[in-house]
Amino acid sequence: MNGAESLVQSLLAAGIDTCFANPGTSEMHFVSALDRHPGMRCVLGLFEGVVTGAADGYGRMMDKPAVTLMHCGPGLTNGMANLHNARRANTPVLNLIGDQATSIVHMDPPLAADTEALARTLSVWTRRSVDPARAAADAMEGVRASMEAPGVASLILPSDTAWTEGGQIAAYLPPAPPTGPTGLAVDRAAAMLMNGKKTVLLLSNRALREAPLKIAGRIAHKTGARLMTLSQIPRLQAGLGRVPIERIPYNVDLSIKALEGVEQIIQIGAREPVNFFAYPGKPNVPMPEGCTCHMVTRPDQDHMAALEAIADAVKATEDAPLPSAPDHGSLTGAISPESLGAAINQNLPDNAIIVDESVSYGRALLPSFTTAKPHDYLHLNGGSIGLGIPMATGAAVAAPGRRVVALQADGSALYTLQGLWTQAREGLDVTTVILSNRRYAILQGEMTAVGANLGPAAQELFNLDRPATDWQAIAKGFGIPATQASDMESFVDQLNRANATPGPQLIELMI
């Protein structure tokens, strides 16, 4: 048994059975081992950004890592933008990066790069596995690290470690259960909730699942605290019957307004809010001056335990009242963010997954989803555009039988459009709605926000209408049926048809 075989067998025994792959020469023995030890679902991406974005979507839905298979340093760099997003979303991912054999790497062959330095910039755990007898054990440590952080773990596998005999099966190392909050942190949170000040209970990461949200709702109902989350959302369980949550807006002025008068923030799995960018003459954080922040649980800790302890301390036992479904009436006429939100609200399939890379157009859509059918909501967490199509792909792989509705800005879609091919190849139930305005609308807004002029050079760099991308042709190119909608009636009709049709579909929505 060579190193690669021991690795494949140990991963399978640990329940790590999905591999998003874009292999090259140095990964050949790993690929060969997959043939001798079947059981791993291998999903091919035409570009590494598809592979890593899919692993992010998969990991968010499964709370366990998929394996990404990438080729040397340059292959890794192609996947790094979406690994950045996975890192920011605290998604468990195990990178398996094939690399030059130990016998040749010192000769600096053409494809050699500083793979470790690259991987370390975004991994919680990085290791070069140079001993076939240890390769599987190294992988098991990587799995554990990715689940405990949770985050991105990177195993660099030189090709001779993979092909050399002496591989040894290694046992799965179950991750340690997340630690609860300290008693002091809970007591302080409880005291803050009872001191009469304007308080925000700020939740993120796994505190955004249905059960912890329910407890958070009780605390809010009892104490008057507001439930909020950061502008970026890894995975939110939302919809009718679930406790809704406010999001801190992305826009600096709106975020400052949203937190106006707030005196304290209690963080459950959430970092302190910070703006996405600095802007001349504006504060870097949305909190009012003097606002106190108190972190009860870090992203890796046990938020449910924290919320239950706080609820006990403040005697919050009554559930928050929940909103009911609005009546939007029949949706007709022009397309707007509001009518799009209403269309999704009314027409979301049962138990759907919303993937949101709608960027500027969709910033105010979240409240519409609150009263849609119960669903999981995955957002561009980390802010590096080009995640949507791959993340929808990975979420669909993780959750067969559930429809993925992906709201996708057109400019961002073009970074990783190759993911459409993987959706077609795997027959995944994804409806991609391209929000087509043929420009980088966000940058036109940002140009104003930073106080700069929008002259002809800027217009030339922000407009994508020369030539206009033909999304129906591109979808056809990758084997996906596509339609185009320019008004609400046709959009709702196309959306329902697409959602009712097995396999991937694409709608270009002209906004």
CA–CA separation, 150 vs 142, rounded Å? 11
The nearest distance, CB 354 to a second copy, in angstroms, is 20
- For residue 247, the number of C-alpha atoms closer than 13 Å in the C-beta half-sphere is 22
Among 196, 312, 479, 489, binds a second copy (CB under 8 A): 479
Residue whose CB is less far from a second copy, 345 or 440: 440
**Helices (H), ranges, 21-170:** 28-36, 48-62, 72-88, 115-120, 132-148, 159-163
Within 286-325, the residues that bind a second copy by CB under 8 A are none
- Per rule CB under 8 A, is residue 358 in the interface with a second copy? no
Among 11, 14, 54, 81, binds a second copy (CB under 8 A): 81
Among 173, 464, 484, 497, binds a second copy (CB under 8 A): 464
Residue whose CB is less far from a second copy, 51 or 335: 51
Within 222-261, the residues that bind a second copy by CB under 8 A are 232
Within 268-287, the residues that bind a second copy by CB under 8 A are 272, 274-278, 280, 284-285
Task: Provide the 10 A C-beta neighbour count for residue 349.
Answer: 19
**For the chain, how many residues are written?**
511
Q: Which helix (H) or strand (E) holds 377?
A: strand 375-379
CA–CA separation, 380 vs 442, rounded Å? 14
Residue whose CB is less far from a second copy, 232 or 393: 232
Among 108, 312, 489, 493, binds a second copy (CB under 8 A): 108
For the window 161-180, what string marks contact with a second copy as x by the rule CB under 8 A?
--x-----------------
Residue whose CB is less far from a second copy, 18 or 347: 18
401: left (phi over 0), alpha (psi -120 to 50) or beta: left
Q: Cis omega (within 30 of 0) on the bond before 174?
A: no
- Per rule CB under 8 A, is residue 477 in the interface with a second copy? yes
For residue 92 the two structure tokens come to 């468990």
The nearest distance, CB 424 to a second copy, in angstroms, is 5
- Per rule CB under 8 A, is residue 425 in the interface with a second copy? yes
382: left (phi over 0), alpha (psi -120 to 50) or beta: left
Q: 380 φ, ψ to 5°?
A: -65, 90
Select the span of 221-229, 307-315, 366-374, 410-418 touching a second copy (CB under 8 A). 410-418
CA–CA separation, 386 vs 417, rounded Å? 8
Task: Kindly determine how many residues on this chain lie close enough to bind a second copy according to the rule CB under 8 A.
Answer: 99
Residue whose CB is less far from a second copy, 53 or 239: 53
Residue with tokens 């060579």: 2
- Per rule CB under 8 A, is residue 502 in the interface with a second copy? no
